[in-house]
A and B are shown apart, each in its own frame.
Chain A
């Protein structure tokens, strides 16, 4: 390269030759380019980039806010869900306790009724027994009276007497069983 540049000094084309005209042209052209760029192009580009940046920032902030709200809402929902679960568990426990209490109450009442029934039955049996004994006494008395009247109506021997007694006993037995 250096050799070429040095060789060029003998009248050959030399890139190190500096003319004023291209320099002035460069100044004017770049000046005009800057003028158009600063007044027509950059305001549009700058505003476009700024607007987009502002929009993106705004959207990000809105998204972050929405995310925070969603997170808060989710936390609230989870809190409410936990509360609802606790209430449900409490209600279930209460219901179980109530059911057990009801069952116990029912059992108690049933037991009470059973006892009452049993007592009533015992009482009735006792009454029936007493009535039966009373009736038996009455029947025995009637029977004794009948036997006595028969004895009085005829003379009986020892064998008759024995048969009367057996017969009376059988009747008594029949009355008691009946």
Chain B
């Protein structure tokens, strides 16, 4: 964590930094009102490249082999590919298929998996302190300019999560139009209420339509910012102790804050998976809400509740 470069504010570690353009770019000469290239943009490109390379590798490992391999051609080789396959199957069978049903699962599974793994890649890359390594490198090399071109968590940028949520919004609405038609889509906006309730229902449903993807964006952004801010905060304690108590304070407080940061690091890793899953799963739910058989699912769910409620208490 390069906290020295960003003063005592832990948010300095989390926010995007301009490389070209913007207010304080690394290349000072390129300063402008809006940034043209930022660290999160580079991180996004790197995450995209890593995602594509890993997924091409995984695809090759999961794909059915040649007939000469016999029954082994059906096996997935390599632990990483097996792990990805397990994740895909788990999410397909326990999260997506029960919500979307056969047809829509087949249709949207590739998109949902791309969404999940892309967000996960961004989240996990953000856990690697690449930015700090570059600052350290620039310091060791005696560069006057503190430079870092890549690092940080792209999903801790509200613009990035909003863009991803916008894609989900488009997918959900396109699905709704195709599945329900214009009439069905408009009917969905009234929520089945009588016509005189339309002035209330229409704005509420329209707002809900926008709030749902907005909530996706804010949830992912807030979780990523919060986690990294907490990590930066723990790291700052050492610096604060050094300022107030000297070397003894630095050693004492750092020991505690490092142990805490390691523990929070594991929590962050879990959150990286969890938030990617939540983003993907809520998109799945929103798609299913715009499907014909949504009502059926609702009834099945209620029937299920009734069945469970009939089980005698022991």
Contact = CB atoms under 8 A, between A and B. Distances in A.
The answer to whether A binds B is yes
Interface of A: 1, 4-5, 7-8, 12-27, 29-30, 32-34, 36-38, 40-42, 44-49, 51-52, 55
Contacts of A47: 63-64
A12 B142 CA distance: 27
B225 A15 contact: yes
A14 B38 contact: no
B164 A30 contact: yes
Nearest to A1: B226
Best-surrounded residue of B36, B37, B47, B114 (most CB of chain A within 10 A) = B114
A44 B225 contact: no
A91 to B, nearest CB: 51
Contacts of B229: 1, 4
A21 B114 contact: no
Contact of A41 (B35, B59, B71, B74): B59
B114 A38 contact: yes
Contacts of B88: 45, 49
Nearest to B24: A13
B167 A30 contact: yes
Contacts of A34: 111, 114
Given A15-B11, A30-B114, A37-B110, 13 more contacts: A1-B229, A4-B9, A4-B229, A12-B9, A15-B14, A21-B41, A26-B154, A26-B160, A30-B118, A34-B111, A40-B56, A40-B59, A48-B62
B242 interface: no
Query: Chain A: interface secondary structure?
Result: helix
Contacts of A12: 7, 9, 11-12
Contact of A13 (B12, B89, B109, B164): B12
Nearest to A34: B114
A87 to B, nearest CB: 46
A14 B14 CA distance: 9
B48 A32 contact: yes
B10 A26 contact: no
B34 A22 contact: no
Interface string B110-146: 1101100010000000000000000000000000000
B163 to A, nearest CB: 4
Nearest to A38: B110
B93 to A, nearest CB: 11
Contacts of B38: 19, 21-22
Contacts of B36: 21
Nearest to A31: B167
27 contacts: A8-B9, A8-B11, A14-B11, A15-B15, A17-B16, A22-B40, A22-B157, A22-B160, A23-B163, A25-B160, A26-B154, A26-B164, A27-B167, A29-B48, A34-B114, A41-B56, A42-B113, A42-B114, A45-B58, A45-B59, A45-B63, A45-B85, A45-B88, A46-B109, A46-B110, A48-B74, A51-B64
